[in-house]
Structure 1
Amino acid sequence: MIKIVICEDEKDQQELLKLYIFKIFDELSIEYELKIFNSGEELLKIYSNDTDIILLDIQMGKINGMNTARQIRELDKKVDIIFITSLIEYVLEGYEVRAYRYLIKPIKYDNFKNNILNCIKDISIQNKYIIVKEQGNRIKLDINEITYIEVQKETITIHTLSKYYKINETMKNIEKEINCNRFYRCHKSFLVNLEQVKRIKQYVAILENSEEVPISRHRFKETKDKFFDLIEEKLC
């Protein structure tokens, strides 16, 4: 079940998005739940953090879509926010709230469908976990909570948003277990979650939590390319 929210104050746009969603999910034979809100205030009042996708108009009344997204991010770090706008100028500002995609009005069905399909694919990744053993205990880790992984001799340290875990494993096996192109081996001793990278400077990735992950000289260009490919993908 994919839970979708439309937050849009124009009735014709609501109906268009509703029609597109019905058509896509009917073709895919995937169950979905759709809720429609006319304003950011209305959405925030009863927001549920089990929402998967928000289609959010930027240009709305008292609380515009960007400010609505900022408040949602305080409640929900995982939901995919797709901004709807007629003004491209909001794109860079949207990176602050980790916007998933942008749809420029007038919205074309094929473009909308491609974005929704990519979103559904990423939701399956968001729901992915790995099991690790630390001091005899089996621990279930959400891969999206992992910021980076480092190896020192025979010890792997998995850094997450809240704590870290030390396990006896090989980096090769961890990479195979995660199996997600959002993670990149930026250094022989470091595997970084590109979703958690805020910016890249010379041979260092700066994470959202301000931690720094080294990038080897010979992997610097490819790490940068992977990072910017991810950003461009979100802006399509």
Structure 2
Amino acid sequence: MNIAICDDDKKICSQIENILLDYSNKNCLKVEIDVFFSGENLLSYLAQGNSYDLIYLDIEMGVINGVEVGFQIRKVMKNYATEIVYISGKDGYDRQLFDVQPLHFIPKPIQASTVIDDLKLAMERAKKINESFQYQKSHDFYKISINDIIYFESQNREIKIVTTNCEDMFYGKLEDIELKVAGYQFLRIHRSFLINYNHVAILRYSEVVMSNDVTLPIGRTKRQEFRNLQINEI
């Protein structure tokens, strides 16, 4: 697993790095860790085509804070695969952090158990992302990476599957698809739409904008549920 630590406090960076290295050595895990002391340096490195599975990202930094770094990763670079764990000694960032869809929030002072728990969660989610969804057309079977699926749409007796690479149609019921992808962060936002939450770029009261810039409606009966999701995300 490729991990980045970004904090302008070198002691915090060293602490998190040592926690991760100690845990990985004891559990025979292969991890590669890069350390950045500013948001600008991290963004510059990512802009060169590099990527990470997990980033431990401080919020209160110099010129570019962690919230802006997260926004650049999600909205500008269109990277919704990298898990982001925010670090801060302050509260009150709930609304801003929700827009970045972080994995978790770690308060200062840093606790080793929290850092390790987030590493475990990121690894578990990575396993699920690498799994596939299978569907049938006539006598042929097709497999699509779960992570590549943006949403499913019910159109009469057919299901439209929209991915990062293509679109396809097959016969089926959205209720059956919902059961197949249970546990993979797919959400039923409307009687006709089942979305991959990892591909939500913008969440509004009555609609969502997906990572492919398609806007989908949220059903009236689902809006409060999504409002609660927004509140409880952090």
Which of residues 208, 226, 230 is equivalent to 1:206? 208
Return closer, same or farther for 1:179/1:86 CA change in 2, 3 Å cut-off.
same
TM-score, normalising length from structure 2? Answer: 0.78
What's the counterpart of residue 191 of structure 1? 194
1:120 and 2:119 aligned: no
SS in 2 for 1:15: helix
Deviation at residue 12 of structure 1 after TM alignment: 1.1
Instruction: Name which of structure 1's ranges 159-168 and 39-48 shifts more when overlaid on structure 2.
Output: 159-168
What's the counterpart of residue 51 of structure 1? 52
Q: Which amino acid aligns with 1:80?
A: E
What's the counterpart of residue 23 of structure 2? 24
Which of residues 139, 154, 157 is equivalent to 2:157? 154
What's the counterpart of residue 97 of structure 1? 100
Could you give the per-residue CA deviations for residues 90-136 of structure 1, whole angstroms, max 9, x where no partner exists?
A: 33212222222211111112222222222221122222232445688
What's the counterpart of residue 106 of structure 1? 109
Instruction: Name which of structure 1's ranges 51-60 and 159-168 shifts more when overlaid on structure 2.
Output: 159-168
Q: Which amino acid aligns with 2:39?
A: G
Return closer, same or farther for 1:11/1:149 CA change in 2, 3 Å cut-off.
same
SS in 1 for 2:92: helix
Deviation at residue 36 of structure 1 after TM alignment: 0.9
What's the counterpart of residue 88 of structure 1? 91
For the Cα contact (< 8 Å) 1:91–1:102, is it kept in 2? no
Q: Which amino acid aligns with 2:16?
A: L
Q: Which amino acid aligns with 1:4?
A: I
Deviation at residue 169 of structure 1 after TM alignment: 3.4
Could you give the per-residue CA deviations for residues 26-81 of structure 1, whole angstroms, max 9, x where no partner exists?
A: 34432111111121222222225431001111222222222222333333331111
Return closer, same or farther for 1:17/1:36 CA change in 2, 3 Å cut-off.
same
Instruction: Name which of structure 1's ranges 28-37 and 166-175 shifts more when overlaid on structure 2.
Output: 166-175
Identity %: 24
1:5 and 2:4 aligned: yes
TM-score, normalising length from structure 1? Answer: 0.78
What's the counterpart of residue 164 of structure 1? 167
Could you give the per-residue CA deviations for residues 129-162 of structure 1, whole angstroms, max 9, x where no partner exists?
A: 3244568876543323433323344311123356
Return closer, same or farther for 1:22/1:61 CA change in 2, 3 Å cut-off.
same
In the alignment, structure 1 segments of 5+ residues that lack a partner are none
Return closer, same or farther for 1:27/1:162 CA change in 2, 3 Å cut-off.
same
Return closer, same or farther for 1:216/1:142 CA change in 2, 3 Å cut-off.
farther
Q: Which amino acid aligns with 2:106?
A: L
Over aligned residue pairs, what C-alpha RMSD do you find?
Answer: 3.1
Q: Distance in 2 between matches of 1:23 and 1:58?
A: 25
For the Cα contact (< 8 Å) 1:49–1:79, is it kept in 2? no
SS in 1 for 2:208: strand
For the Cα contact (< 8 Å) 1:134–1:165, is it kept in 2? no
Deviation at residue 5 of structure 1 after TM alignment: 0.5
Instruction: Name which of structure 1's ranges 99-108 and 178-187 shifts more when overlaid on structure 2.
Output: 178-187
Q: Distance in 1 between matches of 2:90 and 2:228?
A: 22
SS in 1 for 2:93: helix
Q: Distance in 1 between matches of 2:219 and 2:59?
A: 36
What's the counterpart of residue 71 of structure 1? 72
Aligned residues: 227
Q: Distance in 2 between matches of 1:4 and 1:230?
A: 27
In the alignment, structure 2 segments of 5+ residues that lack a partner are none
SS in 1 for 2:168: strand
